[in-house]
Amino acid sequence: MFNPFMLVPCLICLYDILSMIIPLRFSWMVKILLALLILSGPAKMLLLRMTPSGFTMPEMTRNIALILSAMFSFMITAAILLIIKDASMILWRIFLRAKFPAHYASLTVLIIAAMSTVYGVWQGTRVPDVIRHDVKISGLGKNLDGLKVAMLVDIHVGSVNRREFVEEIVDRTNALSPDVILIPGDFVDGHVKDRKFDLEPLTQLRSKFGVYAVTGNHEYYYDLHGWLETLSGFGIKFLHNEHTVISSGDSHIVIAGVPDPTGGNHDTPRALEDSPENVPVILMDHQPRFARENSKLGVAFQVSGHTHGGQIPVVYQITRRFNGGFVRGWYDIGGMKLYVSPGTSQWDGFPMRLFDPSEISLFILHAE
């Protein structure tokens, strides 16, 4: 049956074969082998559709999933480079009126794409470093000066990131002795029965004031209610259009959260209803694109993820277009601080990163 979901990867694969493989001066046997390797990119997507769980690969071993995901990443990277090569070829023919060295250009693309993919998949799948951010918060009381807020986001437990990965990020987070831990969404790609075991180490997260979370869009692609129940059972408190107040002596800070808009009930004003006056607010909102609206509601500091920092150049620009201009790092929006994390990991369908390392964020809050 025709599936539009498959059409784009198939077209990209066809472009790779026509523009990169065919012009190579290799034997047809080598060309067919290279074409088959590239075909494993869309083949993976087809395999995904055939598994009972659809979008994930719980039935595959990690290594097979990783190799197929790497081939998919190679296919995308090669296509981006081929667009540059083909634009150069057109300019070459127009301005130099000479024969374009197609074999060497295609070979260069193949080598750069392969090397970028190997490095990028290593970068995308390694356990992230802790990155410290010092944040000045206006109105923060002196008893909360120095509050340590750790953030994990876009963990995307799936066929590539499994229990060992979660254990590692939990250990690194606990080693920070955080006061608060925030997890603003995209915990998982998969169903509770397949992935509960992998996410279980989250039960070991330790902090003085608790672990708070909101949903990301990926939670809605599976068993949302099953996941909310499971993760709540792990000791994670979901703040969906609600807030909590953290206090130390006479110093207070509000931690608020909104669910991802995929569920249709994203409501920041409701999350802040009845919050104490003159107390700074930290807001968890999985997607950063509502930051301008949130900034008008008295939020001091918004934390988001979702974009994965763009993962690779070119995709960064596309990501920016769909996320209100916010992709990675710090933004000042009318006095509200927005931090868009590159994510603790990313969706395992495209597990590569170039110039965009993932991170465990540690915010140290300071009174301003």
Size of the site for Fe ion (CB under 5 A): 4
> Is there a contact between 283 and 267 (Cβ–Cβ < 8 Å)?
no
Angle at the Cα of 80 from the Cα atoms of 76 and 86, rounded to 5 degrees: 135
Contacting Fe ion (CB under 5 A), which of 40, 217, 244, 275?
A: 217
Contacting Fe ion (CB under 5 A), which of 306, 328, 337, 353?
A: 306
Contacting Fe ion (CB under 5 A), which of 120, 190, 216, 309?
A: 216
Measured from the CB atom, the residue of 102 and 224 that comes closer to Fe ion is 224
Angle at the Cα of 130 from the Cα atoms of 125 and 135, rounded to 5 degrees: 135
- Using CB under 5 A as the binding rule, whether residue 266 contacts Fe ion is answered as no
Measured from the CB atom, the residue of 140 and 303 that comes closer to Fe ion is 303
DSSP 347: -
CB of 305 to Fe ion, least distance (A): 7
Q: Which residue has the tokens 């607010």?
A: 281
Measured from the CB atom, the residue of 39 and 182 that comes closer to Fe ion is 182
Q: How far apart are the first and last CA of the chain?
A: 60
By CB under 5 A, the residues from 153 to 212 that bind Fe ion are 186
**189: phi then psi, degrees, rounded to nearest 5:** -120, 95
Contacts of 8 (CB under 8 A, 6+ apart): none
116, two tokens: 């970028």
CB of 217 to Fe ion, least distance (A): 5
68, two tokens: 């197929």
CB of 233 to Fe ion, least distance (A): 23
CB of 84 to Fe ion, least distance (A): 29
- Using CB under 5 A as the binding rule, whether residue 356 contacts Fe ion is answered as no
Strands 336-340 and 236-238: unpaired
Residue type, 331: Y
Measured from the CB atom, the residue of 15 and 220 that comes closer to Fe ion is 220
Q: Where on the chain is the footprint of Fe ion (CB under 5 A)?
A: 186, 216-217, 306
